[in-house]
Structure 1
């Protein structure tokens, strides 16, 4: 019995050794081809090319210029309430990841003393309403920035900071002037710069050029290069052109093209107080920048159809990252025409132009899309 057990054990061992010889060290079966042995190699898994895309949206509006008749209309027992003026267009301002506006009348607050044309200063509640309506960034470089001097500028800057509003174009120090404001949305970094042609003859206080950015190509070039290095999309606000002219001047177009060549991706025009057309600018390096030469008045006490019409520009930035490069493309520009409505200088509000004047709405569409056939209208 023991002998038979030994024989069986020996037979089992031989069988195991035989079978183990038919497999590789990794367990892969060995196939014999003639007198050579080949192993079946594992199938290589080649990772697909990594491509990551992200999209962020930006909106922009024109001049917020608070005349006396506007802030008196907003007056309450305890201060001022501008929120009802923005109520109808708030959904259009909130829909984008970032919304920028031109704060034309300095928001220096009551302590500086409220004032109207030709030397403006507005209550802090204007800033509160802008923030509540969905505005995230304000451009401060315009011809009224120095209306009430350094005190009003510093007061406005402090209040914008207090409510968490990003601002550009005016600064309280050289150190602040040298900082490029940025906002990141969906992995895309936006930077903001702002410059004005002048200040109605009011000089900047001696030794304090940092208070206000004036249009100067050399300085703009330096700032644009710095902003481009710090962000994916450079948004440039330019206060330029001639008031009440519906077409840009040659100087406006030349400056916009210059800025695009230096790295500006989105160029927003202010000052004419009426709408001027938009344009795609092809740069020498093969990229495209988008410019709208004037966004008109968004909220003001000015009268006359053209001066009461403004709007909201919408545009998307698409960022694509692959193994070899990162590309940024602006796409899908659209526009929402708006109108400042009032009754005998009362009940000021921003409404959709299509509801106020359908004929003017169609004319504005034709005017704005003169050079940009892919400009859509979001109403």
Structure 2
């Protein structure tokens, strides 16, 4: 396993072009036909994280310790080559006036920004329907507060180039790219900042083009995608169609968030779609919205890497406290049963294994 932090790079356009040239050059040598490398990649993804309505930690140091709601999974994140979370809601000094009395106020104080890095989360995604809640000023302050903690960021920035840039890890000429995208926004985008927001059919066309370009450069592409309908366990047909388009364009993995509940997993050829990871830290009391987990993904050491395994480490958001903790065997069984039902339309086999992980395999013939 590579040392975390040493090989992780958020690539802007120029750096990505350089990586592309290196990968293409490597492709012309006999080494490309060599046996698969022994070292692969391990990735972790979690769904929506919001610190709204929580008791503030006494200090930033406290947020890194017992008061860190991600603490129960910090060791799992640390062991992975890459751990990715979706931060929903702004962490800014002032409450955006646009909220008014709205129930959509899921913002939190800047102090919470340090929670991710302290729990060994490598990348925080900012592309979601709440990105523009505070306007351009909110986008920039939220990003700045998180950047100050040392965590890498995708999905929002000062420019479209910065906001839409993938996060790439590279080792021995093999690369894995995490591409941020939201197809949802509560407010109309404005000037002065940018979010990886792909609106309508034209936006989806543009997103598939970005996936295709990364794949052509030799990367395994994982799309962190904010879309869907809240509170429903069956992915709508429009969502299924959009995710499949991304896979057909070259994505090896699509990880969905926004519905606030777990949804099914589909294998499409050698790629997988996790339609929704639900909440991970959220002040929801509904039992269904407190079922969660960490999506643990294993890739091969091939060039380009191949998807070998998709599993969920099941968890429950506990009340009070609203922090995820490992599921008990009974709770894990209930989560596995729910995912079996949600994944059945996709011909996916769901099994709760003795190690406590819920694994997803295809019962259909792979193309």
| TM > 0.5 fold call | yes
Deviations 1:38-76 (A, max 9, x none): xxxxxxxxxxx84341301101111002222x1xx2332
Which residue of 2 is the match for residue 196 of structure 1? 182
Asked if 2 retains the 8 angstrom alpha-carbon contact of 1:121 and 1:152, the reply is: no
Q: Map 1:205-220 onto structure 2 (within 5 A).
A: 205=190, 207=191, 210-215=194-199, 216-220=203-207
Equivalenced residues, count: 312
Looking at structure 1, the residues matched to 47 and 146 of structure 2 have their Cα atoms a distance apart, in angstroms, of: 18
Asked if 1 retains the 8 angstrom alpha-carbon contact of 2:336 and 2:352, the reply is: no
Asked if 2 retains the 8 angstrom alpha-carbon contact of 1:260 and 1:289, the reply is: yes
Is 304-313 or 126-135 further displaced after alignment?
A: 126-135
The 3-state SS of whatever aligns with 2:243 is: helix
The reply to whether residue 137 of structure 1 matches residue 123 of structure 2 is yes
RMSD: 2.8
Structure 1 residue 309 displacement after superposition: 1.2
Looking at structure 1, the residues matched to 319 and 42 of structure 2 have their Cα atoms a distance apart, in angstroms, of: 31
Looking at structure 1, the residues matched to 211 and 238 of structure 2 have their Cα atoms a distance apart, in angstroms, of: 19
Looking at structure 1, the residues matched to 162 and 50 of structure 2 have their Cα atoms a distance apart, in angstroms, of: 25
Structure 1 residue 229 displacement after superposition: 4.0
Deviations 1:294-323 (A, max 9, x none): 001000001110111111111111132xxx
- Structure 2 gaps of 5+ residues are 1-32, 357-367
Asked if 1 retains the 8 angstrom alpha-carbon contact of 2:233 and 2:342, the reply is: no
Structure 1 residue 138 displacement after superposition: 1.6
Structure 1 residue 77 displacement after superposition: 6.3
Q: Map 1:28-43 onto structure 2 (within 5 A).
A: none
Which residue of 1 is the match for residue 364 of structure 2? none
The reply to whether residue 299 of structure 1 matches residue 281 of structure 2 is yes
Asked if 1 retains the 8 angstrom alpha-carbon contact of 2:179 and 2:224, the reply is: yes
Asked if 2 retains the 8 angstrom alpha-carbon contact of 1:150 and 1:211, the reply is: no
The reply to whether residue 340 of structure 1 matches residue 317 of structure 2 is yes
Looking at structure 2, the residues matched to 181 and 303 of structure 1 have their Cα atoms a distance apart, in angstroms, of: 33
Structure 1 residue 146 displacement after superposition: 0.8
Q: 1:332 to 1:80 in 2, by over 3 A?
A: same
TM-score, normalised on structure 2?
0.76
The reply to whether residue 226 of structure 1 matches residue 213 of structure 2 is yes
Looking at structure 2, the residues matched to 209 and 76 of structure 1 have their Cα atoms a distance apart, in angstroms, of: 32
Residue 226 of structure 2, aligned match among 216, 219, 239: 239
The reply to whether residue 373 of structure 1 matches residue 360 of structure 2 is no
The reply to whether residue 262 of structure 1 matches residue 262 of structure 2 is no
TM-score, normalised on structure 1?
0.74
Residue 80 of structure 2, aligned match among 96, 99, 112: 96
Which residue of 1 is the match for residue 24 of structure 2? none
The 3-state SS of whatever aligns with 1:74 is: coil
Structure 1 residue 359 displacement after superposition: 5.3
